Structure 1
Amino acid sequence: MTDLLHSEEEEALRAAVRDLLTDRSTAASVLGLVGSGDSGEPGEPGMSGELEAPGVLGAPGASHDRALWRTLTAGMGLAGLLIPEELDGQGASHREAAVVLEELGRAVAPVPYLTSAVVATEALLECGADDLLRDLASGTAVAALCVGLHTAPTAGFRTVRVGDGALLYGELPGIADAGGADVLLVPAEDGALYAVAVGAAGCAGSDGPAGTDGSAGPDGPSGSDGPARSYGPAGPDGSTRPARSDGPEGTDESTAVTVVPQVSLDRTRPVATVVLAGAAGRRLGEAGPAVRRALRAGAGLLASEQLGLADWALTETVRYLTERKQFNRPVGGFQALKHRLAHLWLETAQLRAAARAAADALATGREPDLAVAVAQAYAAGVAVHATEEALQLHGGIGMTWEHPLHLYLKRAKADSIAYGTAGAHREWVGELVDLAPA
């Protein structure tokens, strides 16, 4: 039987990542990055320490800490954990990636690790795209799989149309971290997965009306959080350039790729709509197996991120209730609160076992579908419950924007529908064990 406890190497990796995040991803820096209140404007640069102007990967609206991501990738090589050593990766397993994601969850770190270093990487591994995998391993590129963040591993997914000359046309909403991606992995109706190079495709952050028919207007699709930056057709080398409006009759220089931010509950993992209007893509392989593998790995390792959220919420709540006094005694000493904390501890411990089992199953190949489905059937409820309890038990301070609790609650709520809801995963468990529906 596989040992689900952390090895010495995994504990060393945990310590290194936690130390880095303690120094480089503080609550103040994350709050400064995602903005203040409902203004939609970035926070003060001085709050974020290592953040550089503009402080994000991609363009405004892609709330990623560029300096932190560079340290995690180029400095520590963590983007290449799942990539073989012969492709300049670390040749590690999903167990190590789970350790990293748990710590990133504890810090609610605004970096595209799950979407690029796990989900997109798994899709590229399935397709055998060695050159792109080398770019991801080195940290010189960020990739995003253009499948809605809500999509479960067993669900169907939206595709785009392939037109004359193998140009791609279509609109794909709900794509996580697309605003900071250099490469978009796009599933098409012909059954293939295409790589579309967008460079630093991103978006501006001011409001603007969409087309009256709900399609992409001059400021992007309806429901967007601002106008998009557009890119022209890819050149022979796969590179793109900003679209021009003065091309001959608007044909040769027409918009090819547009990434428009959507209003995101969790601003540390923003979603966007990707609009393709004649974008040239490189065929990588079959979309079906690649997308299913990517979404399964994303769902399985998301449980480790949710574990980090729940563990942080429990730890901080215990600390606060130990220090906070009422009637001349610590608030945590009241029996009713002890019971609530004990129940939360049991839920978190059970989630830890489920998340570790999912990571190990992905690493070893032993019934990964069942382990992932079980973990996700349980993880969302625990993460949301833990953060909701933390918010309530912190009292008034927990309701303020200055306290980071709202970041964790929003991430937990957003994660609860990422890669399939708990209900969808329970149905998957039933199918895997031949349990008849009620």
Structure 2
Amino acid sequence: MDFRLSEDQQAFAEAAAALFTEHGNDDALRAHDASGAPYMQPLWPACIEMGLHGIVIPEAAGGLGLGMTELMVVLGAQGAAQALVPLWEHQLAAAALAHFGNDALTSRLLPAAMDGTTMWTVSLAALADPRDASLRLVRKGDGWRLDGHVPAVPLGADAQHALLAAECDGEPRLVALDLARSDVQRQPGLDQHHLGVADLVLDGVALDDDAVLANGAYAWFEPRAIACLASLQLGVTREQLRRTVAHVSERKQFGRAIGSFQLVVGALADVYIGVETLRSALWQLVYRLDAGLGALPQALAVRAQACELGHVAGHKAQHLHGGVGVDISHPMHRFLFWSRALAVAMGGSEAHLAQLGDWLAGHDQLGWKYDLPEFAP
């Protein structure tokens, strides 16, 4: 498998990395933490100016019309710089509208999303409750009724619109919601990695018929959301690993750099193996998404690997930094906070491994086995 980027993809990734590094260096992150701002507000207009908010949005809708591979490399750079902007949430919501919304909905909402007048966020958290779905959608006349709550929606108090996952007759559906409505209660807060969040409380919210995207939208959206979160996790972890290697190469104990100790080398090798495992699995996932192939088992595997890598890498990096790693005046603590927040957004690994096991139990034809036919989407 060829993991090399094309020249255009590499140039795109480098331009994005330069922008994120300019706005996401350690000094800028410290200033953001102290400001209490919900996201990096000066960076967001710069992303829009570069077109980074429309990578996977079709050209007909005003986007760049590129693929998940291009978005993956940009999000990897964003994760490495810990740039707090809703890059994937905004454009994946807009792309879902372009693909699955009717003409009235898209003509009403997409232009403002593309020119940056409005901001979109997304949340699938209402379907992740281990007890039951916490957001329910039912038919009411010619429209819909939405009831329940959604916890910790990223930038839920700042975005103008949200794409939410709700349960409807036992099936997941995607709902486009105007967050400025008077019957939408928003309870704002701040996540541990200094991103603004809000709990949404929805009590009998009446929706027009076109506010619910067409059948198939959730199945299209979920693996792409997983790929986005895993791309961020990969970027966070690679930079975390790079900084940890630099630290253990300089930090001396007993007259030797601690990076020369066998136990330290082994711990870093475990993280490196985890990074490469996630990278190859993520490449396979985005390739299949861009090629229009079935990707459910690949997405479930990537989600479990990303959750596990974030946990293992974060704690090993903290351990190898010693006490300085947990000092909030030192930049390393942010990587642990980011990786844990991403794992929470993905829902943890155990449930997804169980879901992958259920899928494997019913399918004996896997796309990576060359002697078997491709499985259906």
TM-score where L is the length of structure 1: 0.72
Deviations 1:184-219 (A, max 9, x none): 335585887553334xx5xxxxxxxxxxxxxxxxxx
% identical aligned pairs: 25
Partner residue, 1:70: 45
- Distance change (3 Å), C-alpha of 1:169 and 1:366: closer
1:336 to 251, 259, 263: 263
Aligned position for 2:121: 144
CA deviations on 1:369-424 (whole Å, 9 max, x unpaired) are: 12211211211111221111111111121111112222221221122232333222
The 1:3/1:169 distance shift into structure 2, 3 A limit, reads same
Three-state SS of the structure 2 residue aligned to 1:373 is: helix
Mark the CA change 1:106 to 1:66 in structure 2 (over 3 Å): closer, same or farther: same
Is residue 2:24 matched to residue 1:32? Answer: no
292-301 vs 315-324, greater mean Cα deviation: 292-301
Report the CA distance between 1:127 and its aligned residue.
2.4
Aligned residue pairs total: 354
**Structure 1, gaps ≥5 residues long:** 36-41, 44-55, 57-62, 202-230, 233-255
Contact between 1:120 and 1:144, CA under 8 Å: does it hold in 2? no
Q: Distance in 1 between matches of 2:195 and 2:92?
A: 17
Question: What is the match of residue 15 of structure 2?
Answer: 16
Look up the SS of the partner of 1:409 in the other structure.
helix
* Separation (CA, whole Å) in 2 of partners of 1:326 and 1:332: 10
Name the residue aligned to 2:75. 101
1:158 corresponding residue in structure 2: 135
> Between Structure 1 and Structure 2, which shows a larger proportion of helix residues?
2
Which amino acid counterpart does residue 308 of structure 1 have in structure 2?
Answer: G
Distance 1:150 1:318 in 2: 39
**Residue pair 2:175, 2:213 contacting (<8 A) in 1 also:** no
On the 8 A contact 2:230/2:306 being kept in 1, the answer is: yes
Matches of 2:328 and 2:349, distance apart in 1: 29
Which TM-score applies when normalising by structure 2?
0.83
Identify if the C-alpha distance between structure 1 residues 371 and 405 changes in structure 2 by more than 3 Å, giving closer, same or farther.
same
- Residue 106 of structure 2 aligns with an amino acid whose one-letter code is D
In the alignment, is residue 178 of structure 1 matched against residue 156 of structure 2? yes
Please tell me the root mean square deviation across aligned C-alpha atoms, in Å.
2.9
Classify 1:157/1:258 alpha carbon distance in 2 versus 1 (closer, same or farther; 3 Å).
closer
Amino acid at match of 2:43: L
- Give the letter for the 1:181 counterpart: A
Shift in Å, 1:137: 2.9
Q: Is residue 2:217 matched to residue 1:290?
A: yes
**Does structure 1 conserve the Cα–Cα contact (< 8 Å) formed by 2:101 and 2:213?**
yes
CA contact (8 A) 1:136 1:143 kept: yes
1:314 is aligned to: 241
**AA in 2 matched with 1:134:** P
Alignment CA distance shift 1:260-1:97 (3 Å)? same
> As a proportion of its length, which structure holds more strand?
2
Of 329, 345, 349, which residue of structure 2 is paired with 1:402?
A: 329
Specify the code of the residue in structure 1 equivalent to 2:158: G
How far apart are the structure 2 equivalents of 1:312 and 1:340? 16
Contact 1:145 1:185 in 2 (8 A): yes
Secondary structure of 2:177's aligned partner = strand
